[in-house]
Every structure is written in C-alpha cells, then in structure tokens.
C-alpha cells in the first residue's frame, strides 16, 4: 500500500510539472517581440486606394423610430500609413488626399492636398503642401496648410492664403483664416484684397 501511494504521488507531480511547462511555453510565445529601431519607424499597417465615408445623425434616436444618418464627408487617398504603434498615434497620407465636404443641402466642397497627417488622439486632419479648396458655388481657396476638425465641422489655417469669390468678383490674400464645413462662413485674420468694379457710361461723371 505504501509503494502504491508513492507511485500515485509521483505521477501527479509529473503531470503537474508537464502542465506547468506547457503553460510557461505558451506564455513565452505570446510575449511581444522586441522591435529594432528600424522596425519601430515602420507603420503598423498600410492601406491603398482608401475611401472613407463620414456620417452624422439627421435626427435624434427615440424609442419608436430608428436614427437616420447622412454622409457629411468622403475621404479618398491612394496610400494610408497607420502609425498606431507610436506613443502619439497618427496616420499619414504621403501620396495626396482628397476630401469632399457636404452641407445640409448635399452640396459639395472639394479639398485637395499633396499630403496629410491625421492625429488619432485629437481627431484633427492636417493637410499640407499645395492645399486647394473648391466650393460648389465657385469660391476657391489656396494655401500651404489647412486643419480640418471633423468633430467641430470647422476648417482653419494659420498660413498665408488666397481666397477668390468669382460671384462677387473679389480676391483676398492674407494670413490666418477659418471657415465652416460648407464654406458658408468665412473669417480671415490679416487680409488685403482686390475688388473689381465695372463702370458704365452713365456712372462716369464729367467735370
């Protein structure tokens, strides 16, 4: 009886040891691998021919009727590099970006830039280099840098800009401005402008 008891104890200990080895082996296999400095500079993911749709609620949700949404912006880019593996997470659009912003009447405003950075922590898109804005009613804006805050539905810049309004036949240059998503509100900080006036013979007074 004593020998049998010892044999059972040994088998139990051997089984427990084997299970512990397996668990330790699994734990080691799930450890995050050490990345080299070169690997840390690489993006966590790369997407090509990206097209994203941004929507917002048209009316509040109630208990009877489900919520309705509409598209307020469409983002397109040939290449997106995701750097969520960094301490300050961001996405990069190195091959250009195009954004279409829609107002409440579904009228578009096009924004084009050579490159862009999207900061995940703040939700702000930084458009850079040869930024162009074309509104549905012919207004045009040219600058080197533009920020789009999707949450506030606002676009702003601290850089030099040129703003053209063909309907009013005006051209404005300055530094620093902001406008609403639908381009209906435009505010500039430092400006100088040109106003084209057309005169008819009846408007010219002789001395």
pLDDT tens digits along 44-93: 889 999 999 988 876 655 545 555 788 888 999 999 999 988 888 899 99
Residue 2: inside a domain: no
Residue 28: inside a domain: no
Domain count, the chain: 1
> Is residue 195 exposed (0-12), middle (13-18) or buried (19+ Cβ within 10 Å)?
exposed
**Residue numbers of the domain that contains 167:** 43-195
CA–CA distance, 144 with 122 (Å, rounded to integer): 21
- Give this prediction's pTM: 0.68
Residue 202: inside a domain: no
188's CB contacts (< 8 A; 6+ apart) are 161, 163, 172, 174, 176, 177
Residue 59: inside a domain: yes
Q: What is the CATH number of the domain that holds 79?
A: 2.60.450.10
Q: Considering only CA atoms, which of 4, 184, 207 is closest in space to residue 104? A: 184
Residue 50: inside a domain: yes
Measured in degrees and rounded to the nearest 5, phi and psi for residue 203 equal -85, -10
Q: How high does pLDDT run on average in the chain?
A: 76
Residue 5: inside a domain: no
Residue 116: inside a domain: yes
Classify each residue of 42-55 as buried b or exposed e, where b means 16 or more C-beta atoms within 10 Å of its C-beta.
ebeeebeeeeeeee
Do the beta carbons of residue 187 and residue 175 sit within 8 Å?
A: no
What percentage of residues in the chain have a pLDDT greater than 90? 31
Residue 37: inside a domain: no
pLDDT tens over the chain, length 207 residues: 434 444 444 444 544 444 445 444 444 444 444 555 665 678 888 999 999 998 887 665 554 555 578 888 899 999 999 998 888 889 999 999 999 988 888 899 999 999 999 998 888 999 999 999 999 989 999 999 999 887 777 888 899 999 998 888 889 899 988 887 767 777 888 776 655 544 544 444 444
CA–CA distance, 112 with 127 (Å, rounded to integer): 8
């Amino acid at each position: 009886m004593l020998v049998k008891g010892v044999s059972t104890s040994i088998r139990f200990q051997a089984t427990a040891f084997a299970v512990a080895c397996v668990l330790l082996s699994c734990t080691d296999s799930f450890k995050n691998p050490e990345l080299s400095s070169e690997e840390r500079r690489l993006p966590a993911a790369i997407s090509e021919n990206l097209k994203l749709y941004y929507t917002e609620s048209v009316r509040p949700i109630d208990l009877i009727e489900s919520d309705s949404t509409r598209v307020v912006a469409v983002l397109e880019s040939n290449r997106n590099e995701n750097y969520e593996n960094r301490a300050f997470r961001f996405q990069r659009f190195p091959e250009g970006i195009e954004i279409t912003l829609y107002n409440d009447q579904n009228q578009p405003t096009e924004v084009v830039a050579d490159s862009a950075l999207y900061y995940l922590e703040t939700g702000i898109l930084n458009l850079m280099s040869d930024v162009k804005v074309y509104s549905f009613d012919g207004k045009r804006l040219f600058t080197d840098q533009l920020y789009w805050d999707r949450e506030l539905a606002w676009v702003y810049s601290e850089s030099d800009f040129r703003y053209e309004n063909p309907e009013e036949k005006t051209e404005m240059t300055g530094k620093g401005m902001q406008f609403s998503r639908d381009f209906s509100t435009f505010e500039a900080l430092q400006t100088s402008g040109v106003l084209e006036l057309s005169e008819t013979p009846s408007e010219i007074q002789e001395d």
